[in-house]
Amino acid sequence: MRNIFVEKLNSLPVEEHGVELVERKGVGHPDSICDAIMDQISVNLSQEYIRVAGNVLHHNIDKSLLVAGEVERKIGVGGRVIKPMLLVIGDRATSEVDGIKIPVEEIAIETAKDWIRKNLRFVDPEKHIKFQVELKPGSPELTDIFRRRKGLLPANDTSASVGYAPLTATERLIIDLERYLNSPEFKAIHPEVGEDIKIMGFRRKRILQLTIALPLIDRFVNSVKDYFDKKEIIKNEIEKFVQEKNQSFEKIIIDINTLDDPERGLDGIYLSVLGTSAEDGDSGQVGRGNRVNGVIALNRPMGTEAAAGKNPVSHVGKIYNILTHKLANEIYQNVSGIKEVYVWLCSQIGKTIDQPMIATAQLILEDGVSIYDVAKPVEDIINQELENIGSFCEDLAKGKYSVW
């Protein structure tokens, strides 16, 4: 028997709040880079562990710092990198099993380089980034649990996570917009737009204001005037996109690079050499970026665990973080009469991951719907997903779920 509790939540859905704040950090943001690379290292290591040992072995690649470098920008011709960025890859990873060496450092570095080549057009991982791998073996107590694994592992920690559904119109639009601006199709038309795109959405009633930061690559900008001309064209493209997506807002206001000042010349425009502020303006860190559903939603409850890079078979900071959102979506899509759902999971260290200390679903119901109408099907969904958590963890180990 699992400890599952389903209750009615007497509050307004976020969609009906008077004020909503939602942020998304794009693929080129230093925090997103850390989250994405560390999680891909975990995925690649997991697959190597399975190949060599038959199981995912102990590792947590969730301590990372991307240290900003230094560049010199040159309008029209393109600038140069004076000091490369530094990516520190840290925490724990099993490097040997039954006398067989696992090339942990090589896998980490090659994974990072491959991700950079695929996602950051102007960053050369051979020249623009240095790598420092600080992945040490875990404690004998922890590593032995993984080696002796039969079936599900015990939770590595006592920790809680929360997920929700559905996304609001603001959340959906911000995710769609960042993905559009960083899509190959948009970049083919506007190669001058860098990958480090950050969007903050502020909704007051049905008026949405989007404040967007996006760098323009210096080699594609011929003058200060050309910068502002290109920015206006990009703004028009964004306005067209959001209006096509808009289904509920009375008005959408777009502001781009609000620090810009034409009176200050080159010092008053947002130019970039490599397309990411990590080139010289901002460092990055795991856990400071988007939540696992792609946004930082200030109206929502959020856990404190960073999911990126944690192992996918015992670290509830990853497993429950993603599973709560999956559960919430399953409940919302399959049980009628629910306006909004929040799912909470709390593990107890030492208990297997399919047996959380508590699993809670909090439901905001449609008018006329009773908690007694929906409690049993909601409980059944939670039970079923926890029963199949082994398969879910296998999918996590294959990288089938995004963590940012």
Boundaries of every domain in the chain:
15-25+169-284
The HSE-up count of residue 206 (CA atoms within 13 Å, CB side) is 6
Q: 337-356, pLDDT tens digit by residue?
A: 999 999 999 999 989 999 99
Predicted TM-score (pTM) of the model is 0.95
Place of tokens 């996602």: 119
DSSP-assigned beta bridge partners for residue 395 = none
Question: Residue 144: what pLDDT?
Answer: 65
Question: Percent of the chain, pLDDT > 70?
Answer: 98
Average pLDDT, the chain: 95
The per-residue pLDDT for 304 is 85
pLDDT in tens, 128-141: 999 999 999 876 65
What value does the mean pLDDT take over residues 195-202? 98
pLDDT at 20: 98
pLDDT at 388: 97
Query: Which residues, other chains included, contact 115 with Cβ-Cβ below 8 Å and sequence gap of 6+?
Result: 36, 37, 40
Q: Look at residue 271 and tell me whether its pLDDT is greater than 90.
A: yes
Res 142 pLDDT > 70: no
15-25+169-284 CATH fold: GMP Synthetase; Chain A, domain 3 (3.30.300)
Question: Which range has the worst mean pLDDT, 15-24, 226-235, 296-305?
Answer: 296-305
* Token pair 């449609």: residue: 366
Q: What is the pLDDT of residue 342?
A: 98
In SS3 terms, the chain reads as CCCEEEEECCCCCHHHCCEEEEEEECCCCHHHHHHHHHHHHHHHHHHHHHHHHCCCCCEEEEEEEEECCEEECCCCCCCEEEECEEEEEEEEECCEECCEECCHHHHHHHHHHHHHHHHCCCCCCCCCEEEEEEEECCCHHHHHHHHCCCCCCECCCCCEEEEEECCCHHHHHHHHHHHHHCCHHHHHHCCCECCCCEEEEEEECCEEEEEEECCEEHHHCCCHHHHHHHHHHHHHHHHHHHHHHCCCCCEEEEEECCCCCHHHHHHHCCEECCCCHHHCCCCEECCCCCCCCCCEECCCCCCCCCCCCECCCCCHHHHHHHHHHHHHHHHHHHCCCEEEEEEEEECCCCCECCCCCEEEEEEEECCCCCHHHHHHHHHHHHHHHHHCHHHHHHHHHCCCCCCC
The amino acid that residue 47 corresponds to is Q
Structure tokens at 54: 């038959």
Checking if the pLDDT of 200 tops 90, the result is yes
Residue 137: its pLDDT value, please? 86
Do 107 and 96 contact (CB within 8 A), yes or no? no
Model pLDDT, residue 85? 98
CB–CB of 37/190 below 8 Å? no
| Structure tokens, 101 | 């060496």
Lowest mean pLDDT among 17-31, 118-132, 136-150, 201-215: 136-150
Q: What value does the mean pLDDT take over residues 290-316?
A: 95
Q: Give the pLDDT of residue 147.
A: 65
